[in-house]
Amino acid sequence: MVLLAAAICTKNGRCIISRQFVEMTRSRIEGLLAAFPKLMNTGNQHTFVETESVRYVYQPLEKMYMVLITTKNSNILEDLETLRLFSRVIPEYCRVIDETDIQEHAFDLIFAFDEVVALGYRESVNLAQIRTFTEMDSHEEKVFMAVRKSQEDETKAAMKRKAKELQQMRRDQHRGGRMGGMGSYGGGMSSMKMGGEIAQTLPPEPVKSKVIPSRHRTTGKAMKLGAKSKDVDNFVDKLISEGETVRSGSAKSKKSDVAKTVVPSALTESVHIRLEEKLSITAGRDGDLEQMTLLGICMLRVSDDQFGCIKVQMANALDKGCTIQTPPTVDKKAFLANSMIGLKSADKPFPTKQDVGILKWRLQSSDESLIPLTINCWPNDNGSGGCDVNIEYELQQDELELVDVAISIPVPSGVGAPNVSEVDGDFKHDSRKNILEWCLPVINSSNTTGSMEFSIPGSPDDFFPINVSFHATKRLFTGIEVGHVEFAQGGSPVKFSTETALLVDKYEIV
Ligand SMILES: *[C@@H]1O[C@H](CO)[C@@H](O)[C@H](O)[C@H]1NC(C)=O
Ligand SMILES: *[C@@H]1O[C@H](CO)[C@@H](O)[C@H](O)[C@H]1NC(C)=O
Ligand SMILES: *[C@@H]1O[C@H](CO)[C@@H](O)[C@H](O)[C@H]1NC(C)=O
Ligand SMILES: *[C@@H]1O[C@H](CO)[C@@H](O)[C@H](O)[C@H]1NC(C)=O
Ligand SMILES: *[C@@H]1O[C@H](CO)[C@@H](O)[C@H](O)[C@H]1NC(C)=O
């Protein structure tokens, strides 16, 4: 599913908190929420409504609604399942589910919402991994503080300017200058509270409805401003104890792809590092990129205690414009200075015999030139009820080698098989699902383009949305990789193994 935002709003659609998972302006989300109650038929038992562009999946919570805003092509059953998870987070933090309580716990909730989504990001996560993530440092807190500081500074400066103007005016008056409009200035003055009181009235009201874009993923500890996020652990414990497997937020995360990219344990060293990136792309049929999101993670697994105290040197990690996070236990300065991931205290070991997240990154873009594999599909109406379809791919990032590429094109039903006149690679027609699947075992720099032509009765709109899947194991999209591993003390080299997986979570041409 494509989750756009998760929000709690009042019955008349006023936003109390909202977390956006795609870039969206504050006014857009407030507008969507304001429109939502008007779409509902009171008294009916439905739990979702749709508009031209979005779907709202909702659940009443006393005097409010928990609302997920998704795209319309997402799977409604999955949406409802996800909604249930979100709704269950709320009583974990709020005793009385009212506006004040929710505002008071806004950051806890937003953080927990992120965890629900982050849990969905990997197909299965263990508690240790979640702990690692929940303790990560928050970039967003810093942004929030910086914005608030600059707002305060601006207000102060404006106040000072006004005070000066007023003084000047009084002086002018004393000199006998005739000033117009003194009355209104006087009024302004009293409401402005001059002199010593200014400072107290300065900090702008804390934002009432907390609308925070999730470009930089918020994490628990930081957004809780100091408190350790026990509650989140409890929540996760509960989920796990109930045997709930939190499934991926996306409809098409392919278990099989993950399996294919996992290195058998017989081939791994005592220090093993898995680098994984997941791509999510929505492109238009005219070649425009609506949204591309790349999530990356680096997991360290030390299976022998004698290799606990190590440092991992990354390559290509800092120059790709990604938002990067390291856990707070990691010395971030050293990482920013020379891409070296090590614990702050050199004599402390990494946890052993478990996967530990040591780096996460995220890249979001609408720059077409970043799409690794472009698909160009041209259906032409042949004028007598049929279509000639010409479809091409091109590998744009030719340092990548894409494996098991499958391009799935919907075709009209009940009109027989498409007549494929030309094809690079293979194709399969699934007459039950009405899909023409174009299969290319390998696409790399030796052979970056290919095409297929077929004709079938139908109209040009029949051939969308097209789904694309592939994986790559030689290199990540960002090129991030492990340089070397060394002992934290002494710096002698440590033998290690790595595995790399670039996966497609979703690639759709709509
Ligand atoms: C158009 O396509 C239909 C279906 O594929 C076919 O039966 C018909 O002969 C085609 N017409 C022309 C002019 O190519
Ligand atoms: C593309 O993926 C969506 C979501 O899983 C699915 O509903 C649709 O049938 C797929 N289309 C094709 C042509 O494979
Ligand atoms: C498929 O297309 C080719 C060329 O367009 C044509 O010669 C052939 O008769 C078609 N076959 C069928 C089964 O329609
Ligand atoms: C390029 O790849 C396609 C699909 O695998 C294949 O059919 C074609 O023969 C290749 N071309 C060259 C020049 O290798
Ligand atoms: C591309 O893939 C083909 C088929 O697997 C392989 O023979 C060729 O060496 C590859 N080219 C490069 C540059 O890796």
pLDDT at residue 230 tops 70? no
3-state secondary structure 5-18: EEEEEECCCCEEEE
Which token pair is 13? 């659609």
How far is the first Cα of the chain from the last one, in angstroms, to the nearest whole number? 14
- Ligand 4 binding pocket includes 393 (Cβ within 6 Å): no
pTM over 0.75: no
Nearest CA to ligand 3 atom 13: 419
User: In angstroms, rounded to a whole number, what is the distance separating the alpha carbons of residues 97 and 91?
Assistant: 7
Q: Which atom of ligand 2 is nearest to the CA of 409?
A: 13
- Distance between CA atoms of residues 113 and 394, nearest Å: 37
Please tell me which residue, 296 or 85, carries the higher pLDDT value: 296
- Domains of the chain in start order, with CATH, are 3-135 (3.30.450.60), 264-367+477-503 (2.60.40.1170), 373-472 (2.60.40.1170)
The mean pLDDT of 316-345, rounded to a whole number, is 87
Ligand nearest to the backbone CA of 402: 5
Top pLDDT among 177 and 70 is at 70
Residue 294 has phi, psi (to 5 degrees) of -120, 125
- Among 424, 443, 451, name the best residue to mutate to test ligand 4's pocket (greatest count of ligand atoms within 8 A of Cβ): 424
Q: What is the pLDDT of residue 91?
A: 83
Average per-residue pLDDT in the chain? 77
**Residue 419 CB less than 6 A away from ligand 3:** yes
State whether the beta carbon of 407 lies less than 6 angstroms from ligand 4: no
Which range is least confidently modeled, 76-90, 211-225, 247-261, 395-409?
211-225
10 — pLDDT class (breaks 50, 70, 90): very high
**Residue 427 Cβ < 6 Å to ligand 4:** no
Beta-sheet pairing, 3-10 with 64-71: antiparallel
